[in-house]
Structure 1
Amino acid sequence: MRSAVCGVALLVVLLSGVQAFLPVGGGGNTHVTITENAVMKKINEVCKAVAESEGREFKPTGSSVEELLHACLGSATSQVSAAKFHEALNQIYMENSQVDRDFMSSNPHHFNSESFSGGRTLITQGTAAIKANIHKGSFQAARETLGRVLHTLQDFYSHSNWVELGNKEPYPALIRPDLTISNIADLYTPTCSDCASGTCPNQLLPSIMSRKKLTSGYMGLFSASKPAGKCSHGGAADLSSTQNPRGGISKDERRAHNAGLHDTAVSLAMEASLELLEDIRGAAGNKEYLRLMGITRSAVLCFVIDTTGSMADDIAEAKRVAYSIIDSKKGTQNEPSEYILVPFNDPDFGPLIRTADPDVMKAEISKLGANGGGDEPEMCLSGQQLALTGAPASSQIYVFTDAPPKDTHLEKTITALIRSTKSTVSYFLTQKTRSARSVSPQARSGFQLYYDLALASGGQAIKVSKADLPRATDIIIDTSTSALVTILQKARNPGSVEGFPFLLDASVSNVTVYITGDSLNFTLHSPSGVSQSDSAGKGSLAVIQTVGNLWRVQLNSPTETGLWNISIVSTQAYTVKVTGQSATTFIYNFVEDFKGPHPGYAVIYGRPETGLPAKLLLTVTGQKGAEALKVQEVALVEVSGSRVADGVIQEIGGGDFLVTVSQVPEGEFVVMLKGEETATSSRFQRQSTTLMSLSNVIITATVSSTLLPGEDFKLPFTVMTSGTEGTYTITIGNDRGIPLTYDTTLSLVVGVSTASTVIMKPPANTASGTDVTVTIAAEGPGGADSNYAVLRLSVLAKVTDLTPPVCEIVGVSGICPSYCSNYTWDLSVNITDGNGSGIKDISIQQGRGNFSQEAVVDGGITVVRGLYSASCCSPVVTLSVVDKEGNVGKCSYSVERSGGVSHSLSLPLWACLLFSGLNTLPGILPLF
Structure 2
Amino acid sequence: MGRRLLLVALALSAALCAGQDADEDIPEGASTLAFVFDVTGSMYDDLVQVIEGASKILETSLSRPKRPLYNFALVPFHDPEIGPVTITTDPKKFQYELRELYVQGGGDCPEMSIGAIKIALEISLPGSFIYVFTDARSKDFKLTHEVLQLIQQKQSQVVFVLTGDCDDRTHIGYKVYEEIASTSSGQVFHLDKKQVNEVLKWVEEAVQSSKVHLLSTDHFSQVSNTWQLPFDPSLKEVTVALSGPAPDIEIKNPQGKVVGPKDGLTELLHIPNSAKVVNIKEPQPGMWSVKTSSEGRHSVRISGLSTIDFRAGFSRKPTLDFKMTSSRPVQGEVIKTLPIRYYPERLPYNLWNITEFIPPNQAFFLRVTGYDRNGFLFQRVSSVSFSSIVPNAPRVLMPATTLGYYLQRGSVVCHVESLIPFTLRFSRDGRRLGEDQLFSESDSASWEIDQVTLKDEDYYECIAISTAGTGRARTFLDVSEPPPAITVGG
SS at match of 1:473: helix
Q: For 1:605-620, what aligned pairs fall within 5 Å after superposition?
A: 605-611=327-333
Q: Which has the higher helix share?
A: 1
Work out whether residues 151 and 157 of structure 2, in 8 Å CA contact, stay in contact via their aligned partners in 1: yes
Aligned counterpart for 1:466 among listed residues 188, 193, 197: 193
Instruction: Measure the CA separation in 2 of the matches of 1:748 and 1:542.
Output: 60
Residue in 1 aligned with 2:124? Answer: 391
- The code of the aligned residue for 1:655 comes to N
Task: Report the CA distance between 1:574 and its aligned residue.
Answer: 2.2
Work out whether residues 650 and 659 of structure 1, in 8 Å CA contact, stay in contact via their aligned partners in 2: no
Residue in 2 aligned with 1:646? Answer: 338
Aligned counterpart for 1:690 among listed residues 384, 394, 397: 384
Instruction: Measure the CA separation in 2 of the matches of 1:65 and 1:497.
Output: 33
Q: For 1:156-305, what aligned pairs fall within 5 Å after superposition?
A: 289-291=23-25, 295-296=27-28, 298-305=30-37
Say yes or no: does 1:658 pair with 2:353: yes
Task: Report the CA distance between 1:471 and its aligned residue.
Answer: 1.1
Instruction: Measure the CA separation in 2 of the matches of 1:320 and 1:363.
Output: 12
Instruction: Measure the CA separation in 2 of the matches of 1:313 and 1:297.
Output: 34
Instruction: Measure the CA separation in 1 of the matches of 2:359 and 2:222.
Output: 24
Q: For 1:428-827, what aligned pairs fall within 5 Å after superposition?
A: 428-431=161-164, 439-441=166-168, 444-519=171-246, 521-531=248-258, 538=261, 540=263, 542-544=265-267, 545-547=269-271, 548-555=273-280, 557-570=281-294, 572-593=296-317, 602-611=324-333, 645-651=337-343, 652-653=346-347, 654-662=349-357, 664-665=359-360, 667-678=362-373, 680-698=374-392, 718=417, 750-752=467-469, 754=471
Residue in 2 aligned with 1:427? Answer: 160
Task: Report the CA distance between 1:392 and its aligned residue.
Answer: 1.3
Task: Report the CA distance between 1:425 and its aligned residue.
Answer: 0.6
SS at match of 1:554: strand
Instruction: Measure the CA separation in 2 of the matches of 1:567 and 1:528.
Output: 15
SS at match of 2:366: strand
Q: Can you give the 5+ residue segments of structure 2 that lack an aligned partner in the other structure?
A: 1-7, 397-414, 422-463, 474-490
Q: 1:701 and 1:422, CA in 2 relative to 1: closer, same or farther beyond 3 A?
A: farther
Say yes or no: does 1:313 pair with 2:42: no
Instruction: Measure the CA separation in 1 of the matches of 2:188 and 2:151.
Output: 15
Q: 1:484 and 1:65, CA in 2 relative to 1: closer, same or farther beyond 3 A?
A: closer
Deviations along 1:707-756, one digit per CA (max 9) or x if unpaired, are: xxxxxxxxx9956789xxxxxxxxxxxxxxxxxxxxxxxx9962545369
Instruction: Measure the CA separation in 2 of the matches of 1:311 and 1:480.
Output: 24
Task: Report the CA distance between 1:91 and its aligned residue.
Answer: 3.4
Residue in 2 aligned with 1:241? Answer: none
Work out whether residues 30 and 125 of structure 2, in 8 Å CA contact, stay in contact via their aligned partners in 1: no
Work out whether residues 645 and 661 of structure 1, in 8 Å CA contact, stay in contact via their aligned partners in 2: no
Residue in 1 aligned with 2:149? Answer: 416
Instruction: Measure the CA separation in 2 of the matches of 1:502 and 1:514.
Output: 15
Instruction: Measure the CA separation in 2 of the matches of 1:665 and 1:591.
Output: 15
Residue in 2 aligned with 1:323? Answer: 55
Q: 1:440 and 1:688, CA in 2 relative to 1: closer, same or farther beyond 3 A?
A: same
Residue in 2 aligned with 1:875? Answer: none
SS at match of 2:103: coil
Task: Report the CA distance between 1:403 and its aligned residue.
Answer: 0.5
Q: 1:562 and 1:362, CA in 2 relative to 1: closer, same or farther beyond 3 A?
A: same
Q: 1:699 and 1:517, CA in 2 relative to 1: closer, same or farther beyond 3 A?
A: farther
Instruction: Measure the CA separation in 1 of the matches of 2:147 and 2:54.
Output: 24
With normalisation by structure 1, the TM-score equals: 0.40
SS at match of 2:139: coil
Q: 1:12 and 1:447, CA in 2 relative to 1: closer, same or farther beyond 3 A?
A: closer
- The code of the aligned residue for 1:299 comes to S
Instruction: Measure the CA separation in 2 of the matches of 1:358 and 1:382.
Output: 24
Identity of aligned residues (%): 22
Between 445-454 and 562-571, the greater mean CA deviation after superposition: 562-571
Task: Report the CA distance between 1:569 and its aligned residue.
Answer: 4.1
Instruction: Measure the CA separation in 1 of the matches of 2:472 and 2:147.
Output: 25
SS at match of 2:57: helix
Task: Report the CA distance between 1:341 and its aligned residue.
Answer: 1.2
Task: Report the CA distance between 1:399 and its aligned residue.
Answer: 0.7
Show structure 1 runs of 4+ deviating over 6 A: 598-601, 699-702, 719-722
Work out whether residues 486 and 688 of structure 1, in 8 Å CA contact, stay in contact via their aligned partners in 2: yes
Work out whether residues 427 and 454 of structure 1, in 8 Å CA contact, stay in contact via their aligned partners in 2: yes
Instruction: Measure the CA separation in 1 of the matches of 2:472 and 2:366.
Output: 33
Work out whether residues 333 and 361 of structure 2, in 8 Å CA contact, stay in contact via their aligned partners in 1: no
SS at match of 2:193: coil
Q: 1:508 and 1:552, CA in 2 relative to 1: closer, same or farther beyond 3 A?
A: same
Instruction: Measure the CA separation in 2 of the matches of 1:499 and 1:331.
Output: 36
Task: Report the CA distance between 1:666 and its aligned residue.
Answer: 5.3
Say yes or no: does 1:376 pair with 2:109: yes
Q: 1:472 and 1:440, CA in 2 relative to 1: closer, same or farther beyond 3 A?
A: closer
Residue in 2 aligned with 1:404? Answer: 137
With normalisation by structure 2, the TM-score equals: 0.72
Work out whether residues 671 and 687 of structure 1, in 8 Å CA contact, stay in contact via their aligned partners in 2: yes
Residue in 1 aligned with 2:407? Answer: none
- The code of the aligned residue for 1:687 comes to V
Instruction: Measure the CA separation in 1 of the matches of 2:337 and 2:331.
Output: 16
Task: Report the CA distance between 1:331 and its aligned residue.
Answer: 5.7
Say yes or no: does 1:350 pair with 2:83: yes
Task: Report the CA distance between 1:479 and its aligned residue.
Answer: 2.2
Instruction: Measure the CA separation in 2 of the matches of 1:541 and 1:331.
Output: 22
Q: Which has the higher strand share?
A: 2
Work out whether residues 647 and 662 of structure 1, in 8 Å CA contact, stay in contact via their aligned partners in 2: no
Deviations along 1:785-809, one digit per CA (max 9) or x if unpaired, are: xxxxxxxxxxxxxxxxxxxxxxxxx
Task: Report the CA distance between 1:423 and its aligned residue.
Answer: 1.3
Deviations along 1:229-267, one digit per CA (max 9) or x if unpaired, are: xxxxxxxxxxxxxxxxxxxxxxxxxxxxxxxxxxxxxxx
SS at match of 1:482: coil
Instruction: Measure the CA separation in 1 of the matches of 2:326 and 2:145.
Output: 17
SS at match of 2:111: coil
RMSD over aligned CA atoms reads: 3.5
- The code of the aligned residue for 2:292 comes to I
SS at match of 1:563: strand
Work out whether residues 61 and 207 of structure 2, in 8 Å CA contact, stay in contact via their aligned partners in 1: no
SS at match of 1:381: helix
Q: 1:380 and 1:443, CA in 2 relative to 1: closer, same or farther beyond 3 A?
A: farther
- The code of the aligned residue for 1:552 comes to V
Task: Report the CA distance between 1:458 and its aligned residue.
Answer: 0.7
Task: Report the CA distance between 1:378 and its aligned residue.
Answer: 0.8
Task: Report the CA distance between 1:665 and its aligned residue.
Answer: 5.0
Instruction: Measure the CA separation in 2 of the matches of 1:502 and 1:415.
Output: 28
- The code of the aligned residue for 1:656 comes to L
Q: For 1:86-165, what aligned pairs fall within 5 Å after superposition?
A: 86-87=17-18, 90-92=19-21
Q: Relative contact order, CA 8 A, sep 6+: which one is greater?
A: 2
Say yes or no: does 1:360 pair with 2:84: no
